[in-house]
């Protein structure tokens, strides 16, 4: 195993080595797949679109569709209007989607293409058929991260589609953030169990977790419909799960359609799921059913049963900011000690919120936004941890330093369970407990001397 990371730490201001993020269009493409009958469209070179599709395909183990404006040297000089016009004509003629969701790339952003003007022109020329919709989000890769791109595209759904007709419907909006289809499916199951009518957007369940029935569907049955996105402007309130991915769209919906919003964090673990259940109860005017209370009790029982294996363990956590914030909260509930907490995405809220969570339990923890895995590895070399939690790219650190590693978040390129088994809610909390205890105890079994190798740990 090649280990080129040095233990000596030197200040780096303008350089990121193995950054803990990827680019905006990937997040925008994923959000667009959460609209029913939507074709994501990359306004830039074909190579960019190919990378974004392949990265998502490797994570979800499902074919991810998207089209491209296929820039060449001519478009780079004269602009991409002709490419966009031809692309929209081809898309509606050949694939006939209900929605085209355009996201930009570095090249189209640098040359300054005016996407709203292109959409208006295509509409006036009849290239966009009646009843079809084209939306767009600006997603330059040199700003933000895939988290920013997801937030921008989700906000574009509100900007282009949501309407306030003056009538209030007995429903809530839930914006779930950048989570797997399994998590979105679990959220819908919990909400349905509570008897609350909601519009979840975007929703990739039924899109990127399809059963194998021998048929290929370019536009699967899943995803939030255009009618639901329009109706979101008449909802009683919006529950936005995640500061970075969901709060911008909720704010836009409030400003555009006067739909009040509750800003929550991802329901990972006990207390964050409690907050979601409490919000659903208050805004939906319902009681918490026995089935949900029983799920909470099972999670609490497992936390108590496994406490001895988690107590005091030092943990390094890497991932998207919304995921990491909620996971760190859960780790403190298990009396674990988060030691290094990083995200590759920018935003001061991350450091402030994590430091607030750890103020009493782990005040010396290193918390860094816009950081990278090279820095994390250096910290671990100087002061090791008992567990690493993060995406697939952390496996190199775990192997070199012989540290238990639990895969969590995006991307997971070498495992498959994440798109079927949730991490959110009480049941998701149980799965996280199982995964953590498995890697910790497997490592103990593997490393302990023969005289300490016990049948029961």
| pLDDT tens-digit series, residues 68-99 | 999 988 887 888 999 999 999 999 999 999 99
The reported pLDDT for the residue numbered 2 is 63
pTM: predicted TM-score of the whole model, two decimal places: 0.95
Whether the CB-CB separation of 46 and 70 falls below 8 Å is answered with yes
Average pLDDT score over residue span 368-397 = 96
Whether the CB-CB separation of 67 and 39 falls below 8 Å is answered with yes
CATH superfamily assigned to domain 172-292: Nitrogenase molybdenum iron protein domain (3.40.50.1980)
Under DSSP, the state recorded for 63 is P
Identify the CATH class of 293-452.
Answer: alpha beta
Q: What percent of the chain has pLDDT over 70?
A: 100
Average pLDDT score over residue span 219-228 = 96
Average pLDDT score over residue span 223-252 = 97
- Same CATH topology for 172-292 and 293-452: the answer is yes
Query: At 338, phi and psi to the nearest 5?
Result: -60, 125
Separation CA 263–CA 279 (nearest Å): 10
Is 257 considered catalytic here?
no
Residue 36 has pLDDT above 90, yes or no: yes
CATH of domain 24-161: 3.40.50.1980
**pLDDT tens across 309-365, in order?**
999 999 999 999 999 999 999 999 999 999 999 999 999 999 999 999 999 999 999
- Residue boundaries of the structural domains of the chain: 24-161, 172-292, 293-452
Q: How confident is the model at residue 453 (pLDDT cuts 50, 70, 90)?
A: confident
Residue 301 token pair: 């029982």
Cα radius of gyration rounded to whole Å, the chain? 23
Separation CA 44–CA 76 (nearest Å): 9
Q: How far is CA 18 from the centre of its chain?
A: 20
Is 261 considered catalytic here?
no
**pLDDT tens across 49-72, in order?**
999 999 999 999 999 999 999 998
Average pLDDT score over residue span 138-142 = 94
Cα-based angle 151, 154, 158 (whole degrees, multiple of 5) = 130
The reported pLDDT for the residue numbered 76 is 79
Separation CA 147–CA 151 (nearest Å): 6
The residue from 106, 158, 257, 424 that is catalytic is: 106
Q: How many helices (H) and strands (E) does the chain have?
A: 18, 13
* Burial category of 169 from C-beta neighbours within 10 Å (exposed 0-12, middle 13-18, buried 19 and up): middle
Average pLDDT score over residue span 159-167 = 95
Residue 7 token pair: 């233990």
The reported pLDDT for the residue numbered 73 is 83
Q: In whole numbers, what is the pLDDT of the chain averaged over residues?
A: 95
Average pLDDT score over residue span 438-449 = 93
Hey, what's the torsion of the CAs at 429, 420, 279, 223, to 10 degrees?
A: 170
Average pLDDT score over residue span 364-384 = 96
Collapsing DSSP to helix, strand or coil, 165 comes out as: coil
């Amino acid at each position: 195993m090649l280990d080129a990371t040095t233990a000596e730490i030197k200040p780096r201001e303008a350089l990121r080595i193995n950054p803990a993020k990827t680019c905006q269009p990937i997040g925008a493409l994923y959000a667009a797949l959460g609209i029913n009958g939507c074709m994501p469209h990359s306004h830039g070179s074909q190579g960019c679109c190919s990378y974004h599709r392949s990265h998502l395909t490797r994570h979800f183990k499902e074919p991810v569709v998207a089209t491209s404006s296929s820039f060449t040297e001519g478009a780079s000089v004269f602009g991409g209007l002709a490419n966009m016009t031809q692309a929209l004509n081809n898309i509606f003629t050949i694939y006939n989607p209900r929605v085209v969701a355009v996201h930009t790339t570095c090249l189209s952003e640098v040359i300054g293409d005016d996407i709203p003007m292109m959409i208006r022109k295509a509409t006036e020329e009849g290239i966009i058929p009646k009843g079809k919709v084209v939306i767009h989000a600006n997603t330059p890769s040199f700003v933000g991260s895939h988290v920013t791109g997801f937030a921008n595209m989700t906000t574009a759904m509100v900007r282009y589609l949501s309407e306030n007709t003056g009538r209030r419907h007995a429903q809530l909006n839930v914006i779930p953030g950048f989570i797997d289809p399994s998590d979105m499916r679990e959220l819908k199951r919990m909400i349905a169990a509570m008897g609350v009518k909601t519009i979840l957007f975007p929703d990739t369940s039924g899109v990127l977790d399809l059963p194998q029935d021998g048929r290929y569907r370019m536009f699967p049955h899943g995803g939030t419909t255009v009618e639901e996105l329009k109706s979101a402007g008449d909802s009683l309130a919006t529950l936005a799960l995640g500061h970075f991915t969901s709060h911008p769209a909720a704010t836009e919906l409030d400003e555009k359609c006067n739909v009040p919003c509750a800003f929550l964090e991802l329901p990972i673990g006990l207390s964050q799921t409690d907050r979601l259940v409490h919000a659903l109860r208050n805004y939906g005017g319902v009681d918490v059913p026995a089935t949900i209370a029983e799920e909470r009790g099972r999670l609490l029982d497992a936390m108590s049963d496994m406490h001895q294996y988690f107590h005091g363990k030092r943990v390094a956590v890497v991932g998207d900011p919304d995921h990491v914030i909620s996971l760190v909260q859960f780790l403190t509930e298990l009396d674990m000690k988060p030691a290094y907490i990083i995200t590759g995405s920018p935003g001061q809220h991350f450091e402030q919120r994590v430091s607030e969570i750890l103020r009493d339990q782990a005040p010396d923890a290193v918390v860094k936004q816009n950081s990278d895995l090279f820095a994390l590895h250096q910290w671990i070399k100087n002061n090791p941890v008992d567990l690493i939690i993060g995406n697939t790219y952390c496996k190199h650190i775990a192997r070199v330093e012989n540290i238990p590693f639990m895969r969590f978040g995006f991307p997971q390129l070498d495992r498959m369970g994440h798109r079927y088994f949730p991490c959110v809610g009480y049941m998701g909390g149980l799965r996280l407990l199982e995964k953590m205890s498995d890697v910790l105890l497997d490592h103990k079994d593997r490393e302990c001397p023969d005289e300490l190798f016990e049948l029961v740990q």
